[in-house]
A and B are shown apart, each in its own frame.
Chain A
Amino acid sequence: EAGVVQSPRYKIIEKKQPVAFWCNPISGHNTLYWYRQNLGQGPELLIRYENEEAVDDSQLPKDRFSAERLKGVDSTLKIQPAELGDSAVYLCASSLTPAAYEQYFGPGTRLTVT
């Protein structure tokens, strides 16, 4: 069974530029999560989807971050414009259902904003 796929793996951009991250969850997993992980810290939830619906986006900085999950499968997380403080690893995870606390993570996208 294929795991969670993310691309790109690494991205270096200048501040004020836009950037997008893509995630393909494990097949059959209805719940998808985007996390941000700063150096030396644990992942912090940005947004959670149940199928196509964003059911928890309380931690998403909505002035510059947006996300979508069309057709309830793949998801894209966008930052526009990027700031220096956005440098982090962006992780995507999925689970069968929201009540299934077993979340499976992708390899992450390491973003560096210069």
Chain B
Amino acid sequence: QKEVEQDPGPLSVPEGAIVSLNCTYSNSAFQYFMWYRQYSRKGPELLMYTYSSGNKEDGRFTAQVDKSSKYISLFIRDSQPSDSATYLCAIGGGDSSYKLIFGSGTRLLVRP
């Protein structure tokens, strides 16, 4: 079992839809839950992150952590074609290694 699992997609939605992107993880000790956006042929860009549990909102983006289920989500409201990219979750803080474990990414396509 991989430490972090993410559905590769692709996920295709119409413009304006609410998008839900998810990851599951295996190590209950993880404390940092990151979301990165990666456009084609670009490096990952940090979108937002949460520490421990709970929700965090930033504009159209909301990150949620459910530690009891070992499940994290990123919601995108009013999705735009410019949101079309691969979304990577990354999880860390489970030990003293300061290492981030990345999911394989979900490819999102927002159709105009």
Contacts and interface: CB of A to CB of B under 8 A. Distances in A.
Contacts of A43: 44, 88, 102
Contacts of A6: 43
Contact of B98 (A40, A93, A98, A104): A98
A99 B103 contact: no
Contacts of B98: 31, 48, 56, 98-99, 101
A42 B99 contact: no
Contact of A40 (B8, B41, B90): B8
Given A56-B97, A98-B98, A99-B98, A105 B45 contact: yes
B25 interface: no
A45 B43 contact: no
Nearest to A45: B99
Interface string B67-91: 0000000000000000000001010
Interface of A: 4, 6, 31, 40-45, 48, 56, 91, 93, 98-99, 101-108, 110
9 contacts: A41-B105, A42-B90, A45-B99, A48-B99, A56-B97, A101-B49, A105-B46, A106-B43, A107-B41
